[in-house]
Amino acid sequence: MALLTRAITVEARTCAVVYRHGVRTGVLAAGRHRRPAGSTVVPVDLRERLLAVAPQDVPTADGASVRVTAAVRWSVTDPVAFVEVADDPEAVVYLATQVALREAL
């Protein structure tokens, strides 16, 4: 019995996490690939992104308050973790930046 397949193209600067019947089966690099029937492909953009953190008042160690903002450049290095660990990975980066700002002051 042959598996029905379809061809898919993973664009440059992306990869794709592949699931078959809900189980992760691999990660595809850019290029043309066969995709077995019953599989789901989740594309992941690997390009660098810029995230601006809104200005916020942060208390300093001596009790003063300063208004800070941050711009963060980030990119995906682990596509599986990006897809499976957090529902909103960009929100995780945003929150981590806010926490780092507070700890730095």
Question: For 43-67, what is each residue's pLDDT tens digit?
Answer: 999 999 999 999 988 888 788 889 9
Helix, strand or coil for residue 40?
A: strand
Query: How much is the average pLDDT of 35-42?
Result: 90
Q: What is the largest CA-CA distance in the chain?
A: 72
On average, the pLDDT of the chain sits at 91
pLDDT tens profile 23-32: 999 999 999 9
Q: What is the pTM of this model?
A: 0.80
Q: Under a CB-based contact definition with an 8 Å cutoff, are residues 41 and 105 in contact?
A: no
Closest CA to 30 of 53, 12, 46, 57: 12
Provide the percentage of residues in the chain whose pLDDT is more than 70. 95
